[in-house]
Structure 1
């Protein structure tokens, strides 16, 4: 019976194709189209659609050629306009925003490429293996066309290879196809990539960290192949696809002045349509949207405003965007302005807001809640006014909120918040929650949801409480002497004041101590990873004290204070900046290479400040509830190589986080990790890994010590379990390191790392389950495992005819193990130089498995082992290991010899050996074809170059990497 094979075609691509056909798409094999290979359209279908949807073209069919000529011109323009610009222009045609002089007397009339009102009037086709060729030739896995125009491209990867994932598909689209055949993407709405376990989508030129899943909010997230049904049936539903194109795609300008394309995420799509449905229905006039910090509420409001404004049944409504702070006002306005939102006007004064509403302005109005403070009358009683209130947990529930509702008595009110409050005096649920909504909100997107989707990073807490030594007896004596001349009331007041938190927090000795800790922590842990930090101080006085200390420790250019300065406050005048000056400081902070590393704040920037490069917050101020949650979430934005936001807590607020998330405590426990718990767990996990080696002397060095350790792992099952236990231990080590608490365990952990590496199969494969170790553990191995360099007399052993008889006669199991170890070491040394050694490595693993139970004393095992040793020696002789041109080391030696005379007095041999050794550790077969493999090898190379101060030379890095990619 033949064994069925699973690949990306028959397991994923065909499954998606069939799901689409079940849901109304028509499958047409790509070889059935009448087309030129350099044409992304199916023109025959496009002409039919133009005639069907446009009476003027139906009356005179030649006009279809005029439209297609215009569309082709946009496709051709991609070479000089760029893909995003060309895509933006084509999107206007897709949405029916373009016109042609096809009317009476050459009057311009809109041209329809797609019927958004009647979905069935369009033709939806899916095809596979669609080939496109200009200068380059590419073939797409899935190609989705509407009326002959390609709107979606999908790339599928196999679900059965662990080193391959959706990321490889996404990179293939964004780094290969979009660059080499950009014409294929000019009409594109979005792309998707999947490995059958995970589905992600993104727009043209989106970085990989901006590809998101289309989530099932009812059933959660699954990794089975069947879970693909949800995104395929929902996101690629014909009606939803057209809705996305018409209402949920914008083109905007990022902070680097680049034009980018943005498509909504699933929670934004779901929520906007719930808002629109509720407004159109007209019965329920409020709703609460609870989406966690960093989940894209500004864009949600933008998409909602656009769709509400365009909805025919709402008859040109007014959409009021209400925020409660100037900085958020600026952020929201910036989001809308960058996207060139039409009919948008900011109401910057009380009088301008009143005037806009009294005059019945039918636009998108952005204002702050404070501009309602003097409103005492009805400003507009129209029903099609929709108010979207940002950060609805703050002042909207008080008097200002009442005035706003009185001014707009028939309006709809939707509150958006990341941190709802549930107290008697300020209850977000009571204010915005509708009775029909389960648990009080119409839409919820939790912290855990955003982390699962990769929209934000998880948060880690590191408590570092500062305990000052207090000499109670001396203090009491001095206090009594000080107060014996004042009355009891004054004495009680003085005791209260002296006992306040501020007295201890602001003590000079404490600030000096905390500053030293911050500086050391930043220099050792944060700065090497190119992240930046924020210090949150008790008050403005503390800000200045911390800056004085940190200037001394980190340098004056490294820190800046950002604070509010009121008129006449001379002591703070040096930090009184204009909005433009402050923006310049924040822009510099966001530049990776800029010397500004640390922002010092007390209240400003704790909300509404979005700096993805900010990874660590040093918290030295008591914060509570939503203020705390909003503050710590400044660190959770996605940034390259950033795995988590870190809160270094000097004040002891961790328990308050639970209160701040008291509506979602179960999720909070899953996603907020306390490093203290890892520290408690580490010795237990260490003991478990060491328990395999209870009866051996771990001080024994060389072959003898290593062989004794390996004998404690006699079979695959035991080695497999050890690998699993050590893998878990290494993850704890990676999470805690470089915390000095690990110093006491360093010797044991280094020893275990070496044993782990020594028993790993030579081939890198085999029956055992071997896990990827973190860079810190690999560094320990690289620096400390040198056992393979000990005396290697394999040739003498092979030639010794009396060896077999002597070993068996004396039952010398250690000698057998030594031979096996030496063969393994020789194979590992040569495995990347000739494919023959990979075969020999696999043969050694099979041999060990064959005689697993008694290989140490088996005559047959020893004989076969010696035969294998002879094969290894023959392979070494047959391979010219000194042939310069064919080895990676030779290529690297040539490269570094070239730069030696030009740049520096480097020791070439040492650099090449370092690169060779560390790359051989992290590489695996086929690594060049996987995202994970490329990332690990690049990281290893950059780390090695940094050791010799060569890491900033990008050209050198690229050359070295290309050699490694070719020869390793």
Structure 2
């Protein structure tokens, strides 16, 4: 860095002061990595203020020349050793003026790119190399088979996205997936542009744009340079809010006269956009809200010099002002219109254009523009600036695909005569006009769609889904029910309250209970029903609808286990993002944009267990669906030069056809994985393939990746089967094949359980295990599993201690009695070995002895010097010794009851040898002459007297502990660190 700054004219004093500021900012200390990274970013992006001596003015030092890439020094280093915790060596690190700004992990084609991503993420943990990432801006992982993924500091794994070759080449030529994208994103000018203009610190999470967002902003910058506006069509869920933030930020930094007005047509969207702008720093923490509260305030703010960012509802532009003089305008306005397909026409829009006639208008939409909207859209905004359609977003993994299912709720009219008689009786006091009006409203009695019986069937259907469907049944997924009217929504809500599911339901509509409004309504009117529903059922414990709605939305997003279903009519169908939302139930005839926006509430990413957004249609919006259908047919879409090819924008999957395809794919993948298993392919044969040779202590570790792949493949197969198991005959599967699938799923479920118990692994495939247990119980196993008390909470080793070896085998290892004695023995051995590996750092010397005893036991079992019962007896004794910590090394009475000190005493000889290699330790007859005991007691006292509370994991407090131990270890650093690591593993020293 010094050389580069000198070349740009800075003195050594300036350089030293700037470097010191940077080094101080990069120290994470007790802060989070996010905070340190943000401090560093601000010093890189903006000039560093340095003061060479007291009383002198502060001067600027620009660490990076953002405008002139050639004036910076770029370098790449391979296999950089990262220190600070456990050492790691990322493949490549890019340095900019000596500052590590990008870290790259490259993998072989046969290794998943996800492995590289997980390495990047774990490297940011404190136990590894957290401090190194205080300066990082881009983190990249890739291979030649899956391409390049990128994120930034703190990005969760699921949000690493692909950077594709920009040339759009469809040919898989060498370099297309990895080399070319890597060269493109690491181009010097682009790298500087990405870091300077596209990094956002948004409410605790650092974000870097996806490729389509970057392309959209660059296209908008080009269009704005030509003093033209246009439309940015980026599909629902692809991050339009971030797009607005990036563009607003760029405009206000690059145009001193720029002012940005964000216009929406809904208060919910207005509030959401303000939140995003504030979180990203476009609006300062202490700045007043940019939201416009009234038309008068709008007029005032348009003519003021501040604020530069304004947010207003389109209704603040009053059409009555079309004939009056426009208000004075200060600054150069850029008007962002959100969901522009809804606000493109009408007198309010004309008045907005009249007041801001010199402004550049940019429309944002997440839905296709239909031909009927085309002309007015172009008149207001101009041509497309950039498009990013639904199929592209699905292919890029930005949003999930949609799966459509039409469900029928059969109804029949029991007696037309009864209906006619009812009308005759109820309308006998009405005149003919009133009778006609009433008959028109309740015309054909197809309005049984509002009838209680139909709703109860739908409710039963929904509750059944929450007990059977993946995600819905494990408290991770939520759903939205769209009712046809506020009355219907209230009716649904009341009916749900009569079920055990009622406490998990909320309702959000535009209804506001008002005593005055219902004062003249009959007791049995629709309005009175809605009023009573809200006052007696909905708002209990809440001062008003606003507070109730805010709490329901919060629970729906943050506590899916406590609020599983929201009943709505039109509110929340746009601009409401809740990743947990997995299903939408349609009982309302939505159309066009409203339909597309509604169903896209379900397609946000939310972990590996969410594969689709599910649409369940109770009103058959698309007729009799047999194959894949489209929301919009291609001849209805506006497909101008910016719109892309004449293809359907949104394709909904025929759920049964798609489900069968997934089943066959999962089945084929699982069978391919199991090909190496030797005949006769019994459970033990699978165990040997996926767990390795019992004589090899490293076998379990060496085969771990293979087992994880097997667990995932099994889970995918069982889940795919469960999705369609009740409909296979309908899908054309012969009875024999269905029976074979049933047997295969049951068998592989048994194999998976056997391998898991054998290897001592509690399956950590996160969401999958809970789902699979339910699905197997529901669809595959005829007998319900018996709950053996709290057995599931015990490992095999713990269960041996609790119940004895024979009960432990029956309850945990060989629950179905299908394993041979040899397989049971090997399972016990593997579980013990797993425990030794897991706990060996807590008492290395003790577990070394236990490991040797286990090796001896294995050898005797292999040589058949022990029969099965003798082996079990010896194994139980060894387990109890291991867990009880009973070794063959006695400890002095002075350490009785002090387990942590006993562990120190047993392990100190090896540590002291590091500090005092020539010292002969005395082992006297009494405590005073026992050197080992005296040092142990000295360490124990130091920990009790000098170690601060909650010292583990706190850098400052850990240093205090190290300082206390250092003199006891003769100030030998290696011995001190070894002792510190041993003490850190002891629960007795907190």
CA-CA distance at 1:831 after TM superposition? 8.0
Decide whether the 8 Å contact of 1:119 with 1:239 is kept in 2.
Answer: yes
1:413 aligns with: 361
Q: Which whole-Å deviations, capped at 9, do the CAs of 1:267-293 have from their partners, x for residues lacking one?
A: 1111112112221232xx221111011
Which residue of structure 2 aligns with residue 307 of structure 1?
A: 250
Q: Confirm or deny that 1:338 pairs with 2:283.
A: no
- Please say which of residues 62-71 and 316-325 is displaced more in the overlay: 62-71
Residue 357 of structure 1 contacts residue 380 of structure 1 at CA under 8 Å; is this kept in 2?
yes
Counterpart selection for 1:355 from 297, 300, 314:
300
Q: Select the residue among 650, 653, 661 that pairs with 1:673.
A: 653
Partner SS state of residue 127, structure 1: strand
Structure 1 residue aligned with 2:619: 651
Distance in 1 (CA, whole Å) between partners of 2:662 and 2:31 is 56
Checking the alignment, whether the CA contact within 8 Å between 2:341 and 2:373 is kept in structure 1 is no
Task: Name the counterpart of 1:71.
Answer: 22
1:537 matches 2:483: yes
Aligned to 2:941: none
Residue 527 of structure 1 corresponds to 473
More helix by share: 1
1:459-858 paired onto structure 2 within 5 Å: 459-471=402-414, 474=417, 478=421, 496-499=440-443, 503-525=447-469, 526-566=472-512, 567=514, 568-569=516-517, 571=528, 572=531, 573-574=534-535, 575=538, 577-592=544-559, 594-640=561-607, 641-654=609-622, 658-660=630-632, 662=634, 663=637, 671-678=651-658, 733-737=721-725, 747-753=739-745, 775=772
Cα 1:763–1:352 shift into 2, 3 Å: closer
Secondary structure of 2:121 counterpart: helix
- Which moves more between the two structures, 293-302 or 509-518? 509-518
1:39-188 correspondence to structure 2 within 5 Å: 46-53=1-8, 55=9, 57-58=10-11, 61-76=12-27, 78-101=28-51, 106-160=56-110, 164-179=111-126, 180-188=128-136
Tell me the TM-score normalized by structure 2.
Answer: 0.64
- Residue 204 of structure 1 is matched in structure 2 by 153
| Contact kept in structure 2, 1:534 and 1:617, CA below 8 Å | yes
Paired residues of 1:551 and 1:558 also in contact (CA < 8 A): no
1:927 maps to which residue?
none
Shift of 1:746: 5.7
Query: What secondary structure sits across from 1:137 in the alignment?
Result: coil
- How far the C-alpha of 1:47 sits from its partner, in A, is 0.5
Change (3 A) 1:502 1:136: same
Aligned partner (choices 435, 445, 458) of residue 401 of structure 2: 458
> 2:496, 2:610 → 1: CA distance?
24
CA contact (8 A) 1:617 1:635 kept: yes
1:103, 1:51 → 2: CA distance?
20
Match of 1:385 among 333, 342, 365: 333
Q: Contact (CA 8 Å) 2:148, 2:181: kept in 1 or not?
A: yes
In structure 2, relative to structure 1, the CA distance for the partners of 1:367 and 1:590 (3 Å cut) is same
Structure 2 CA distance for partners of 1:624 and 1:145, relative to 1, 3 Å = same
Question: Are the structure 2 counterparts of residues 470 and 782 from structure 1 closer, same or farther at C-alpha, using a change threshold of 3 Å?
Answer: closer
Render the CA deviation track for 1:592-626: whole Å, top value 9, x for unaligned: 36522221111211111111112122221111111
1:393–1:127 CA distance, 2 compared to 1 (3 A): same
Distance 1:779 1:372, change over 3 A: same
CA shift, 1:64, in A, is: 1.4
Q: Counterpart of 1:106 in 2: which secondary structure? A: coil
Q: Is the 8 A contact 2:138 2:153 kept in 1?
A: yes
Q: Distance in 2 between matches of 1:501 and 1:878?
A: 84
Q: Distance in 2 between matches of 1:252 and 1:270?
A: 21
Q: C-alpha offsets along residues 87-118 of structure 1, whole Å, 9 cap, x if unaligned? A: 00001110024311259972212221100111
Cα RMSD (Å): 4.6
Q: 1:84·1:261 contact (CA, 8 Å) conserved in 2?
A: yes
- 8 Å CA contact 1:532, 1:615 repeated in 2: yes
Distance apart, 1:74 and its partner CA: 2.0
**CA 510–665 in structure 1, closer or farther in 2 if over 3 Å, else same:** farther
Residue 430 (structure 1) aligns with? 378
CA contact (8 A) 2:305 2:331 kept: no
Q: Alpha-carbon deviation of 1:238? A: 0.8
SS in 1 for 2:82: strand
Listed as ranges, the gaps of 5+ residues in structure 1 are 1-45, 254-258, 435-439, 690-702, 707-724, 765-771, 786-822, 836-872, 897-968
Shift of 1:303: 0.3
Distance 1:519 1:183, change over 3 A: same
Deviation of 1:195 after TM superposition, in Å, equals 2.8
Kept after mapping to 2: 8 A contact 1:209/1:454 = no
Q: Is the 8 A contact 2:717 2:745 kept in 1?
A: no
CA contact (8 A) 1:310 1:316 kept: no
Rounded to whole Å, the distance in 2 between the matches of 1:239 and 1:688 is: 46
Residues 497-506 or 654-663, more deviating: 654-663
Conserved? CA contact 2:143–2:178, under 8 Å: no
